Every structure is written in C-alpha cells, then in structure tokens.
Structure 1
Amino acid sequence: MPPVIVDGSRPRWDGPGDRPIRLTLWEPRGDGPHPLVLLSHGTGGRVADLGWLADALAAAGILVAGVDHHGNTAADDAYLPEGFAFVWERPRDLSVVIDHLLDTRDDVDAGRIGAAGFSLGGYTCIALLGGRIDPHIALAVITGAAPMPPLPEFPDLIARLGERHTADDLRHAAQEAAASARDERVRGAFAIAPSIGPLLDTASLAEITAPLAVRWGDADDNAVPAQNALRYLEVVPTASGVSLGAGVGHYEFLAGSPDPEGARGRVAADAVAFFRDLFAPGRMAP
C-alpha cells in the first residue's frame, strides 16, 4: 500500500481526522537534484492507471509523484460523494505533495516542477496553472439544477450530497470552487483527455501564462473534445495540442486497456519531450 501523508488544513470526508493523500513515487536513477512531475488520475480511478506514463518520465530522469485523491479513487475502501463533486479540492492535494517533498527530500529541484494528468486529472493540472471553476456553474451542477455527466461509479451523487450537506453547505462549497489553486512552483502541465472544460471560467483560462500541452482522441465520448480538449486549446494562450487520431477514445490512456493505435506509447514520448523542454537549462519560468 502506498504511503499516506495528511493535509492538516482540511478534514477528511469519511470521519474525524485530517485529509489523507496517498502518494506513490516513481524514482529516477542517480543522485539528483531531479525535476519533479506531479501525476493526477481520472475520476474514480487510481494513479497506477498512469503507471505507463510515470515509468517513461522516471526513465528520463524525472521524479514522479502520483496522488490518489481522497474519496475519488478506486484505491480507497469506498467512494465518497465529496470526492466526485468537490473537484476543486484536487489541485490542493498536489500542492501539499510539493510542500511535503521539498520539506523531506534534498534531491528535488524546486525550480523544475511540472504536472500531468488524465481526464479529471487533466483539469487538476490546468487548475495549478490558474484555471478556475465558475462558481455559478459549480452550484448548479452540485445541486442538480444543471445536468452532470453520467457517473457510473456514483449514479446517485446529487442525492447523496443532499443527504450529507445543507443547501448553505453547498453554496459555500461552490464559492470555494472560485478560488484560484494556482501554484507558481508548477512551470507547466501535460493534460491527457482533460475534462470539465465547460465548468471553467473563460477569463481564468485566458490568463494562463505557463506552457500547457494537450492530447486527446477524436473518438472520446466521455470527455468530448469539442467541449474539453479543444476548448482548453482554443482559450489558453500558451496551449498546444495534438489529436491521437479518429480511432482513439477515452480509456485507451489507462494501463491495461486495449490500445490498438499505440496511443499510450505516443503520449509517453510526447510527455517526455515536453518536460525535457520545460526543464531545459536556461528556460525561463513563466
């Protein structure tokens, strides 16, 4: 079982105690100092789903720190409604991990930190660059006033939230969604099939200055590219992106899933190239 660190500034959602953050490290060879990439999984998944990407980055000399997000991961004993609804909590998990690693290790290069993620993990990384959720849309979604994308893991999410939280609780939570999770230590991000594009405030995306790479499959009917990957690509001024092709959907990016187009291998190579360029000597921070 991967080690668990805690964030004393936030409570856990399944009982008393501080917020747990399960951390998996992929160690590069050598003594360092090493660049660091944070890794964030998709909703309901686990960071091990992205082991193929972590392995490639570690082989390129990068320390990879993968997070299993509390309440939103198959690595937990049970899913929690807050983990699926309060998605703006996710980027804070990654910032806490940066704090932890810089405090406990002397082989991390604080000037070379990036983030990568899949699906909701792609949003998580974009939030670290400054993307913010529109609180009005967030409130409509978590109260059921606006439709939420189908969640096979949590088909009764809205009802469960209503059982555990008052209307005032949910209004307060939605206001928290508007807060910036920008972490200036994160110099760039690599987003794979990023999701929840319609929930993000357009102005906040337009203000991002750090490099953002986006990859997606045109056959993705989960995080539909027109509303997600292509929206980020259009609005974020520093974004660049490439489709993996008409035959690539959403789940080809998960370890163990069929990948007849070789999408994972191509994305891994692209991510290594992106972070090598981002961390190159003389590259100015945004």
Structure 2
Amino acid sequence: MPDHTSDRAGLRGDCRRCFGLCCVALPFAASADFAIDKPAGRPCPNLGGDHRCGIHAELRTKGFTGCTVYDCFGAGQKVSQLTFGGRDWRTGPPEHARRMLDVFPVVRQLHELLWYLTEALTLPAARPVHAGLRRALDETEALTRRGPEELGALDVGAHRQKVNPLLLRTSELVRAGTGGRRKNRRGADLMGARLKGADLRGADLRGACLIAADLTGADLRDADLIGADLRDTDLTDADLTGAFFLTQPQLNGARGGPGTRLPGSLTRPVHWAAGF
C-alpha cells in the first residue's frame, strides 16, 4: 500500500489524465456560479472533443466561477485511468458512459475521505489513534480500487459513518493542545457574521455555514474546518496556520490576499491575487 502520509499528489485533480468527468457527470444551475443550466450526465458545451475546457483561462469572466472552485481530489484520473482502464465515456455503448459517470462521484467522496485520513496521520497530537487511522486509510484506498459494479453499489455514507469517529477523536486531540476555552461552533449558522479579528484558535467549526462571513484578521490556528462552507468568506489577513481538515475547494471558494496565512498542504488560489 502506498504511503499517503508523505505525498498527497494522488489526491489532487489532474485534468490531463481525466476525461472531463466533472464536466459531464455533475449538474449545475444558472446562478452567480454558473452562466447556464446543465443536467447531470450531459457534457458542458465548453468541453471539447479532447476532454479539455475550451474557456479554462476565462471561466470567471465568462460566468463559470463554480468550475474554478471545484476539485475532485484525484478521483477523475483514478476513474479514467484505473477503474475504466483508459477507456473514455465516449467509447462504447451508453451503458458504459452511464456507469462511468455514476462511479465518479462515489470515488470522489472516497478520495475526500482519503484526504482527511492522510492529514490526520501527519498530526502528532493524533498519535493515539494513528493505528486506527492507518487501517481506515488502507480500507478506503482498497474501496477506490474496486470494479465499476462494486463501486456503483457501494454505500459511501455507511463507510463515512465508520470513519467519522476517528476523525472526531483526531479533532479533539489536536484542539486540546491549544489550551484555554475552545469555541464550539459546530454546524453553526454564521452566514454573513462579523468575526473580524476573532480568536477562533482550536475552534470546532465542523459543518459551520460561514458564507460571506467577515473573518479578516481572524485567528483560526488549529481550528477544525471539516465541511465548513467558506463560499465568499473574507479570509484577508486571517491566520489558518495549523487549521486542519481544510481542503483546496473550500479555500478556492473563499476570498483572501497575500496576508492570509495557510497550512502548508494547500496553495493560495490564483484568483485571490486578481481580486475576484
């Protein structure tokens, strides 16, 4: 089994090795994020015959901001190259395409779990549960390597419920190291909240709605951000050093700047510099 704790390259989308699965499998509705309606299973009109986006460099200016914040956690290339052996959805009967598009979101969910489990294994404070995390990691990786029919029938929710207690315990162990009274904002509705300069060190923000919240200059060190909705959240000059279970799609949906401090595993979104 590969050592995921040292290299998460396989858990990042690589469009060069994918058949544009997210551009076909996923639906979207005309909104601030998408310029048009598209049902699940229908190729986006911007998708070319080479499985590449024809407006990739202009997605934001042409009204497809939603595409720029999405990441498949590497599921696209795994389904394209491993699960279906390099045979694209345009090849063969409709059943082949349908099965491929059904499997993609399943593997995407499993890869997101792999991201969290891999990160948890890098956290020294979580050492008491490292053995359980490693077993869960290996089991989840094995699931992603099953055949199309098995993946299509997989109950991802049940597997997530099995893994979640380990992630919760990891969160408790890491946040306990911050000392003091740690804020519990799990699942809180903080849409548009004014939290400028807030002390959120070691806070539990799992599943919190922070859409359009003002977190400029906030201290989010060692905060648990799994599932937090950061769309249009202002993270200018915020400190997310050591924040965990934070993903690239969450960051891509937020706003920030050169003064925003990030965990080393994530990259500063390009559109932050452009002021979008």
Same fold (TM over 0.5): no
TM-score band by shorter chain is: under 0.3
Higher relative contact order (CA 8 A, sep 6+): 1
Structure with the higher strand share, 1 or 2 = 1
TM-score, structure 1 normalization: 0.25
Larger radius of gyration: 2
